[in-house]
Amino acid sequence: MIQIKSIQSTQTHIVRHPVLRPGKPISTCIFDGDDLPSTKHFGLYTNTDLIGVISVFENKNLIFSESNQLQIRGMAILQDHQGKGYGRLLVNEIENYAKSANTNLIWFNARESAAKFYKILGYQISGSLFDIEGVGLHYVMYKQI
Ligand SMILES: CC(C)(COP(=O)(O)OP(=O)(O)OC[C@H]1O[C@@H](n2cnc3c(N)ncnc32)[C@H](O)[C@@H]1OP(=O)(O)O)[C@@H](O)C(=O)NCCC(=O)NCCS
């Protein structure tokens, strides 16, 4: 059975750590703003196992003019479960949440390796590749909703 549920910030570390910060201290899985009331975390479960996470932050990127923006962060699916459609389900969940919160635009810093995944889901690239130190090359990507 597959279920997406609201989770606490610390639960995201179960997936953030092996997928996004492998070999790094667990403290690198704590993001600024994780525990703000406006920040939401969602987890995808297969039966009782948490295998995917995604978080959204109220954070306006000034390169976009839209007033109500949400930033996706910490999108990750455990390696053994990638490529089965779970990432798409989590992004869809965030888009539904964003619509209910009257968001105009979703944006995020996408790893270069994940840009095609987001393009398939209708997101566009803004600008050029840039480096996030210790994490790698990223594009800003966005979708008006
Ligand atoms: C990127 C990631 C979140 C995608 O989740 P997923 O569950 O593997 O993706 P899905 O199975 O839902 O894929 C949806 C579509 O995107 C494609 N896709 C998924 N990941 C892709 C990738 N890295 N490159 C190219 N296409 C990809 C799938 O083939 C599928 O295409 P289809 O609909 O034509 O069949 C996941 O692979 C992951 O956690 N990767 C490592 C961490 C990461 O890069 N996170 C994003 C940080 S910005």
Ligand 1 interacting residues, C-beta cut-off 6 A? 19-20, 75-77, 82-88, 110-111, 113-114, 116-117, 120
Q: Which pair of tokens denotes residue 24?
A: 């790094």
Tokens of 102: 């009257």
The CATH number fitting domain 2-144, selected from 3.30.300.30, 3.40.630.30, 3.40.120.10, 3.30.200.20? 3.40.630.30
Q: What single DSSP character describes residue 30?
A: P
Percent of the chain's residues with pLDDT above 70:
100
125: pLDDT confidence band, cut at 50, 70 and 90? very high
Question: Distance from the CA of 106 to the center of ligand 1, in angstroms?
Answer: 18
Domain residue ranges of the chain, discontinuous segments joined by + = 2-144
Q: Is the pTM of this model over 0.95?
A: yes
Q: What is the pLDDT of residues 54-111, one digit of tens each?
A: 999 999 999 999 999 999 999 999 999 999 999 999 999 999 999 999 999 999 999 9
Closest ligand 1 atom to residue 52 Cα is: 39
Overall residue count recorded for the chain in this entry? 145
pLDDT in tens, 2-38: 999 999 999 999 999 999 999 999 999 999 999 999 9
